[in-house]
Structure 1
């Protein structure tokens, strides 16, 4: 929704661990409100601005559920094992992401020195995640829809409580949902399906997407003091969330209104705060042993994790006394050798550092890569802005402040106010004011596979794959990659490119109409220089989706007819496919002789 349309806008930051919601009316865009009336939340607590992204199905058959704070052990008997991390599973539980080389749980856990998240592993959120879906016959997309529906219903209730009833009833509500910038196109498609199932309406009509780092930039650059913004300065946004970390840089091109260009292609990784939780759980498992951990009741384990979260994870690095690094271990017998006494375990600074460092080091590396990319272009990095759940970490802040980034000197690192709700606020701002980003850089190359006429000057590896085409009467080579958009290519707010497709179809001898539904593959590549043929680097090429172009309504008389070298007649069919990337999502349209024949059906591989 732009500022020209009257109505309510709701920014939804659906996070791996917590979710935040901000809303406002377009006529009073400066009066931003946050949803804070989460069921069973503690009034006035520091977490009032967000709700845990957790669901517990009390009756899986009917999908009856508790969600958010309702799933805490003190509210349910017996204590539940709620399903968490389902947002991460949208990205990792589809074969398109696996082929793309997107890090799955197993890969990520190995890189972060974590145990494999299988059924025989510990009782971590990951093991309660993907394996629980199979037992309940509920997919991650379905659980995401159930959770987002509960969030939407509460957001609407909050709006009705905050504004006059008649005004609310007569106003349209538009939603802006955030998605990680590192997500695959298949994961984004699953998110569209989940939002539509959750009652958000139709994509691009009632709701839109914005990448999490762009939402963060929209808010943080607004709250930076105006005299700190200068034309030509570049700011690096580090959105360190619960599951993913996105790092992106924006160059100031206008001050009033504020406009930016993406400076360096953004990067990201799976190294959010949930992986700190996993490392802590494994630390406790090694410390106390399987038998002690297994005997702990769910409520005791939840209390242990709560004190880790509030007393250690959020405060570490903030000059806290080492004696304050304690977690509760209810029911565990005293053991001075293990620093366990009176139901508490006292952690040393060195132990906490061992938990933090593998995760924090990956985040720092992402920021260093972005800084180096900006500086290599001769641009000035004015500051690094740190947002998100992990972005509130004092330890991460200090680590970034210590960095010299290629020896070029220190760069100011800032944690804007309201860092935890910055993404939701930025999504709301994007919905009310439109995008402040004018030029973007494509994160990957997009293209399609085709045959190419063989030429004698082609390389040996290409020559070896030539084959005769009787319809066109020439030698051809398969596996040719034609790229719509290349990685790092500058694209406008809406990327729009068109490619010509040519098909040859045998003319039926029995007078029947030929089949005029054509299947193509949209592929992608994350390399800076994508290959010309798929056989040159097969592992670098990912099938994004299958595209079905239906020309059945086009009369065959409009097609050229050509005699092939095999003596058979062929229809030669030319048509254009236009690809649009709008609000983080790909759409296609088909044209024949300049006439649109509708949207090309895209089927994403989601198994």
Structure 2
């Protein structure tokens, strides 16, 4: 059933690029993307804009995206950028960051720190305001309470990163009740159910199992789904992946240029010729998608005169000799405004992320319960690269590889559809084991490594982790897991401490990798015995937050809290 929101808008807040898309309730599949991002002086129109934020010398928000890059570059050209602060590609601070908190900081391009929450909030607020301006030009009478907001996040993120994004969105002015997080590979899977092509039946028939590989700028996000008879999706393998996105190729390119031109030249180029530097990165973003496996000979890049002039000023040997000294004679040539590089060199820049993705995917598909997976959907901006597509097809010969049209927008469009039909995903595979720290009667065989305390004269093993739900377990969305009864050890209150870990069989809450994610304190009724204050604990596994409830079995008094992972 469609939701009640008149309009759904989804924000794809990416490592390299961000954008949004939306559709109305009466035409949910008529998804519109913003067409108005102006990519620099050449007036190139882009469907997404760079994820970067510019602050003025007072620390106030100035601009976002292409506008931020261009403004900062102009200031730098006139040497008026002192005090201004540009933050780029800061989303990766959330990936696998066990120490993430509300006070975590990110650095601008000059290494100066600022609270990450502030920068993320500014970014989402800008996207929200840009969307509001766009929709008000098209439709009249739509107010904020008519809108369902969706924010895409990698499925492989930890709970703390997902909570961080949610809080940033709320600080940006999005009401909690009208905000949903959508896991990126799930969104891609949802959208691909709507595509009407000859190959649709490959993955859209009931019972068909398929893998989704979402290759973005920062991460590779991989899930496996099965289509159910009620049109919902069931996850078959826990979300997995790693930091194997397109920015690795960008970094390899920059490192290679640094090897050619030297540290001094590149540092001056990135700081004094910032407009050329940003344009070079934009050019490379387009060029790298056109690298194909059939390419031979040399690949041509635009070479800015400013970088050649800076090189000549650095007292380095002539470029021809420099190339020869590096053993690249015949593989690298220069002309007036062109840098021509042998394709074999260019392809090396792609090897690390692609090989990591392929190795990981092969490891998943080799598992016994994955043998019936026949199809692989490849989506995401990095997934649009022809070289990436070919290498994955070559290594996964036994699978049917499908690359949807506009693969870089599939996640965004799917997130919009998810906002209209939020019950599309039936179940997920738990990525972590969740448990409670408990005291147990000491057993020499079971508790050899436990800390021991005497409580009310009895020898107790401390911090024993009682599993609530286990990593790898299938969980229906909104599933409630109840544990108990628990007899208090303290007459005044019971403290329920919840932990999570990637390990399937943790023993103690003090184990390496076991993280405390929240506490629920339950006050006991005065005058009742400990037995009469016994508790039943329930854990509700929802979309993005873990709700913990405790009920006094005798008095029926209920206590609850959402786990605070930050």
Whether TM-score is above 0.5 comes out as yes
Q: Give the C-alpha shift of residue 90 in structure 1.
A: 2.8
Structure 2 unaligned regions, length at least 5? 313-317, 324-332
Q: Does 1:50 align with 2:48?
A: yes
Q: Does 1:450 align with 2:449?
A: no
Q: Give the C-alpha shift of residue 40 in structure 1.
A: 6.4
Q: Give the C-alpha shift of residue 378 in structure 1.
A: 6.2
Contact 2:220 2:244 in 1 (8 A): yes
Structure 1 unaligned regions, length at least 5? 98-103, 105-128, 507-513, 562-571
Q: Does 1:181 align with 2:175?
A: no
Write the distance in 2 (CA, Å) between the matches of 1:367 and 1:477.
41
1:498 aligns with one of 482, 496, 499: 482
2:355 aligns with one of 358, 361, 364: 361
Q: Does 1:439 align with 2:427?
A: yes
Write the distance in 2 (CA, Å) between the matches of 1:442 and 1:505.
33
Contact 1:504 1:573 in 2 (8 A): no
1:597 aligns with one of 554, 558, 565: 558
Write the distance in 1 (CA, Å) between the matches of 2:125 and 2:57.
17
Q: Give the C-alpha shift of residue 604 in structure 1.
A: 3.0
Write the distance in 1 (CA, Å) between the matches of 2:449 and 2:7.
61
Contact 2:62 2:68 in 1 (8 A): no
Describe how 1:206-225 pairs up with structure 2 within 5 A.
206-223=178-195, 225=197
**Secondary structure, counterpart of 2:416 in structure 1:** helix
Write the distance in 2 (CA, Å) between the matches of 1:321 and 1:70.
37
Counterpart for residue 315 of structure 2: none
Q: Deviations over 1:5-40 (max 9, x none)?
A: 141111111111111211111122132111222366
1:151 aligns with one of 108, 111, 127: 127
Contact 1:451 1:479 in 2 (8 A): yes
**Secondary structure, counterpart of 1:522 in structure 2:** strand
Counterpart for residue 328 of structure 2: none
Q: Does 1:549 align with 2:524?
A: no
Q: Give the C-alpha shift of residue 601 in structure 1.
A: 5.6
Report the more deviating stretch, 2-11 or 384-393. 2-11
Describe how 1:66-145 pairs up with structure 2 within 5 A.
66-73=63-70, 76-78=74-76, 82-91=86-95, 95=99, 130-132=106-108, 138-145=114-121
Q: Deviations over 1:485-524 (max 9, x none)?
A: 1011111022322233443225xxxxxxx5x3x5443222
Say what the alpha-carbon RMSD is for the aligned residues. Answer: 2.8
Contact 1:466 1:475 in 2 (8 A): no
Matched positions, count: 530
Write the distance in 1 (CA, Å) between the matches of 2:361 and 2:144.
46
2:206 aligns with one of 192, 211, 231: 231
Contact 1:449 1:479 in 2 (8 A): yes
Write the distance in 1 (CA, Å) between the matches of 2:121 and 2:438.
37
2:236 aligns with one of 239, 251, 263: 263
**Secondary structure, counterpart of 1:556 in structure 2:** coil
**Secondary structure, counterpart of 1:130 in structure 2:** strand
Counterpart for residue 101 of structure 1: none
Write the distance in 2 (CA, Å) between the matches of 1:573 and 1:215.
45
Q: Deviations over 1:304-361 (max 9, x none)?
A: 22222222x1111264454343242432157235323323322211211221101110
Describe how 1:144-543 pairs up with structure 2 within 5 A.
144-163=120-139, 165-166=140-141, 168-169=142-143, 172-202=146-176, 205-223=177-195, 225=197, 226-228=200-202, 229-254=204-229, 258-296=231-269, 297-311=273-287, 313-317=288-292, 319-320=294-295, 322-331=297-306, 332=308, 335-337=319-321, 338=323, 339-373=333-367, 376-377=368-369, 379-404=371-396, 409-455=397-443, 458-459=445-446, 462-463=447-448, 465=450, 467=452, 469-471=454-456, 473-500=457-484, 501-505=486-490, 514=492, 516=493, 518-527=494-503, 529-534=504-509, 538-543=511-516
Inter-CA distance 502–188: structure 2 relative to 1 (3 Å threshold): farther
Inter-CA distance 269–307: structure 2 relative to 1 (3 Å threshold): same
**Secondary structure, counterpart of 2:75 in structure 1:** coil
Inter-CA distance 345–260: structure 2 relative to 1 (3 Å threshold): same
Inter-CA distance 533–94: structure 2 relative to 1 (3 Å threshold): closer
